[in-house]
Amino acid sequence: MELSLERKIKTTYTIKPAWPLPHTRPFPWVMAILISAVLFLAENQFSAGAMDDNNGTDLQASILQGNLIRQIAYPFIGLIGIVWLFRATRYRLLWRSPLVVSFGLLLGWCVLSVAWAQEPAISIRRIVVFFFMMTCAAGAAALWSHTQSVMFISLSGAAHLTIGALYEIATGRFAPWNSDYRFAGTLEWNVQGFCCLLLALSSLAASDSDSRYKAVFRSLALYGLAFLILTKSRSSMVGAAAGLLVYYLLTRSLAKKTFAMMAFAISALLLCLSEGLNSSIAFLTRNAEGASDLTGRIPLWKLAATFVNRKPMTGYGYQGFWTVANVDYFSSELHWTISAVHNGYLETVLTLGYIGLCLHVLALIFGVSNGCSNFKMTRSPIFALAAAIFAVLVVVGWLEVVVLWKPSPYNFGIALLLWTLCLQKHDWKESRRSLEVFE
């Protein structure tokens, strides 16, 4: 007796993956909590109040001595990343991808810049720390499913934000009812703002990745946006708007996009007709604080430009510009504690020169394009999230030091998204092929 056509198709073409399907693997709660805790201890100094004192003594000491916790934490997560890379054998690096080429050249240039750094020992130590972080992120991207990666970024960010809020409450700093209050938690205001931004976008992607917890992750997205507003970080708010726009345009249907635009237009019109417009603008712009010179950024950029002219092509070596002498000089000239130039592009030129800047910009552009193209092919929310975050880096980089080439409280999540774009996972490819048979 001949088999029916439907049964013959299933018998002949259905592929049973040798590797478990990504969404069937249990979430690695123990390792996720461990990695999140280690990163929190390494990057959070519980020094929010120190900014009010404008005292650079502790900052200068940290430049010389480094952070002992980071020196222990990053080798630990680097070892975990190596173990994960050996366990996850069913992946390959996309060597010919423009993103891989540009970012690989950027990493190579960072290593080479140690040769002309002002403080080679400090540069070597910091680049080793950075490679440990990248190794752990690569191992996680290779071993975890896309849904698990997005969930980790969201849940880890929510945990860190909650600890920061509890810290402010415990120390009596949490006072959102005061007009001059800015939420910082355990970080600096603008850094905390970017972390809230990442939490909001990753939670939105997590809600799209796993419908079982859609309400939970959308609540976390609102949680991140609420505290982003409390930070009053104008650069992060602009970045959040850009990231949400990119993500929404990629993931939503034409009808939903049209509805959202109409709702936004009507809300803006009602706000303009009401008395709340001026107060809302004053709150979000901190009453136009520092509007004339971008909160002291323009004088800072002019002073930094004099140093760029001395070494325009190579810069001062990997994280080698902000020595004790330069921190002291900039702080005394501008009368506030300075350890960054508050511009990702200018910071890259100071560190890696115009060659490093070109490679960094190319990596950002290819990150956006690869994220968009991968999402169109796979419809996986993590690729839309990656495109949105890289677009945010392009925008926020004009006002803050958000870069791909150094560790920060949010860079592990960005590194995880970066490796997701750079790695092809064979188990995902097989499971996708098997699903296409039944579509």
Total residue count of the chain as it appears in this document: 439
Name which of 180, 183, 94, 97 is nearest 366 in CA terms.
97
Side-chain half-sphere exposure of 431, counting CA atoms within 13 A: 16
Contacts within 8 Å (CB) and 24+ apart, 249-256: 250/372, 250/375, 250/376, 250/384, 250/387, 250/388, 251/208, 251/375, 251/381, 251/384
Using DSSP's 3-state secondary structure scheme, residue 425 falls into strand
Give the Cα separation of 417 and 389 in Å (integer).
9
Name which of 1, 14, 22 is nearest 429 in CA terms.
22
| Rg of the chain over all Cα atoms, to the nearest angstrom | 23
Task: Say if residues 226 and 197 touch (Cβ distance below 8 Å).
Answer: no
pLDDT given at position 144: 93
Scanning the structure block, which residue is given the tokens 């997205």? 221
Scanning the structure block, which residue is given the tokens 């997560």? 77
Using DSSP's 3-state secondary structure scheme, residue 91 falls into strand
Per-residue pLDDT of the chain (439 residues; tens, 9 = 90+): 444 544 444 444 333 333 334 444 677 888 899 999 999 988 876 544 434 434 444 444 455 455 677 778 899 999 999 999 998 877 889 999 999 999 999 999 999 999 999 888 888 989 999 999 999 999 999 999 999 999 999 999 999 999 999 999 999 999 998 888 999 999 988 999 999 999 999 999 999 998 889 999 999 999 999 999 999 998 999 999 999 999 999 998 877 777 777 776 676 666 566 555 455 555 555 555 555 556 778 899 999 999 999 999 999 999 889 888 888 899 888 888 888 899 999 999 999 999 999 999 999 999 999 999 999 999 999 999 999 999 999 999 998 999 999 888 899 999 999 999 999 876 544 344 333 332 3
Alpha-carbon 226 to chain mean position: 18
pLDDT given at position 353: 96
Contact residues for 371 (Cβ-Cβ < 8 A; gap 6+):
383, 384, 385, 386, 387, 388, 390, 421
Tokens of 222: 């609102």
pLDDT given at position 91: 83
Alpha-carbon 295 to chain mean position: 24
pLDDT given at position 393: 97
pLDDT given at position 67: 66
pLDDT given at position 261: 73
pLDDT given at position 42: 86
